[in-house]
Homo-oligomer: A and B are copies of this chain.
Amino acid sequence: MNASRSDSPTRRTGRPIDRSSDALVLSSALELLAERDYERFTVDEVAARTGKAKTTLYRRWPTKEDLVLAAISAIGRPPELDALPETGSLRSDLLAVIDSPWLGGASRRTSIFASLIFATRNSERIARAVRAEVTEPYVDIYRRILSRAANGQDAADRASRIRVLAEVIPAMSTHRLGSGSESPSRDFFVSVVDEVVLPALMSARP
């Protein structure tokens, strides 16, 4: 409320930027993106929902694309990435990830992932951002859990390994889409089968 006399590199006079509302704006943007596709996503609607002026949003994020990119970056990394669940059984490890409250829980999170897949079609920058900031780290969690389980442990729980598809698939699809493949969805699904399902099955021999 006081502090910082002779300032940091950048001068600080006049009304300060209201950073406190950034989080609200970005989460609302993400929310809207989960409801609509990128084309129907409008900056006006974000402004209306947050009670901000459209012009204010444009001062902070010069284009709609920038706003969406910021919203994606604001997602952050899944907390499980730092502390992989270690509950003792593969099944509960997987469920711990699936039922993580990250991004509002499984239901909302999967809905958001699905929308991000749509968005990757509209902008290469968005496609790259989704891949790097959301998909890769998230898929990585499953990769690590599965590969850890492949070395022994709870190798019998075949059904729960298959169920992981329910969450891995939307995540991985963003991984592949927009990378220039001719038939991204087929490539993607084949890769899910080859990289996730079959290895999981092979290591599960009751």
Contact = CB atoms under 8 A, between A and B. Distances in A.
A170 B192 contact: no
Contact of A189 (B108, B121, B169, B184): B169
Contact of A190 (B37, B114, B166): B166
A158 interface: yes
A198 B138 CA distance: 24
Given A113-B185, A118-B121, 15 more contacts: A39-B39, A107-B186, A110-B185, A110-B186, A111-B182, A111-B186, A114-B184, A118-B118, A162-B193, A162-B201, A163-B190, A165-B192, A166-B189, A166-B193, A170-B186
23 contacts: A39-B39, A107-B183, A110-B183, A110-B185, A110-B189, A111-B182, A111-B184, A111-B186, A114-B184, A158-B201, A162-B193, A162-B198, A162-B201, A163-B193, A165-B189, A165-B192, A165-B193, A165-B197, A166-B186, A166-B190, A167-B189, A169-B189, A170-B186
